[in-house]
Amino acid sequence: MGDVKVLGFWSSPFVHRVIWALKLKNISYEYIEVDRFNKSELLLQSNPVYKKVPVLIHGGKAIAESLVILEYIEETWPENHPLLPKDNHQRALARFWIKFGEDSIASITDLFLGPSKDEQERASAKKKAEETIMVMEEQGLGDKKFFGGNNIGMVDIAHGCLSHWLEGLEEIVGMKLIEPNKFPRLHAWTQNFKQVPVIKENLPDYEKLLIHLEWRRQGYVT
């Protein structure tokens, strides 16, 4: 177990990406919780550039940034639950949708975490977020159960914050973005994703997360 360590913070969806990938591949690891306000020497030494979690330490060597870590996990343990398709073109498409999600997530989170907006600004921000969600549903997910097909893969893991975390923000703000009548396939995906045993067993406590997200939101809007 000591060969693989994960430096994380309990509420971070980016840290959970790493946890889910390791769990899916049945890789034992030591989890080390990091105090975000009193960063440890281990974190500062392991990620001196960004000084953020997650960090994966494997064999004494540190890797930072969740998507980079996911690629490292896949390349290091390719035989256990592959997270990317074998076909080169399909792998490239998967990476495209990961990049699309990463580039677009700000338009979604800003709707819930950004400074208070008037009705016109709020409507415009919601429209932009819905356009992003529509592209994900129609062109990324399509008619598949998961972005990766019948089993979850790296695209699903990368988009995991659209399930548990986004639902918490929707509840706090009182505004639904991924509505089942408007985005039925992506809404079904959020529920299917959370029901995968490895995901379900490794989600932060919802009530505790709500308190944390409300605290984060207040920090953005004030």
- Tell me the average pLDDT across 19-36: 97
**All domains of the chain in start order, with CATH:** 4-76 (3.40.30.10), 88-219 (1.20.1050.10)
pLDDT band (50, 70, 90) for residue 116: low
pLDDT reading at 2 higher than 70: no
| % residues pLDDT > 70 (the chain) | 96
Cα(12)–Cα(14) distance, integer angstroms = 5
- Tell me the average pLDDT across 28-51: 96
List pLDDT tens digits, range 101-110. 999 987 888 8
Output the pLDDT for position 48: 97
pLDDT band (50, 70, 90) for residue 220: low
- Tell me the average pLDDT across 152-159: 98
List pLDDT tens digits, range 47-65. 999 999 999 999 999 999 9
List pLDDT tens digits, range 139-151. 999 999 999 899 9
pLDDT, mean over the chain? 94
Give the per-residue SS3 of the chain.
CCCEEEEECCCCHHHHHHHHHHHHCCCCCEEEECCCCCCCHHHHHHCCCCCCCCEEEECCEEEECHHHHHHHHHHHCCCCCCCCCCCHHHHHHHHHHHHHHHHHHHHHHHHHHCCCCCHHHHHHHHHHHHHHHHHHHHHHHCCCCECCECCCCHHHHHCHHHCHHHHHHHHHHCCCCCCCCCCHHHHHHHHHHHHCHHHHCCCCCHHHHHHHHHHHHHHHHC
pLDDT band (50, 70, 90) for residue 193: very high
Q: What angle do CA 138, 196, 147 make, to 5 degrees?
A: 25
Does the pTM surpass 0.85? The reply is yes
pLDDT band (50, 70, 90) for residue 16: very high
User: Is residue 133 within 8 Å of 178, Cβ to Cβ?
Assistant: yes
Output the pLDDT for position 1: 45
pLDDT band (50, 70, 90) for residue 219: confident
Cα(33)–Cα(77) distance, integer angstroms = 24
Higher pLDDT, 1 or 43: 43
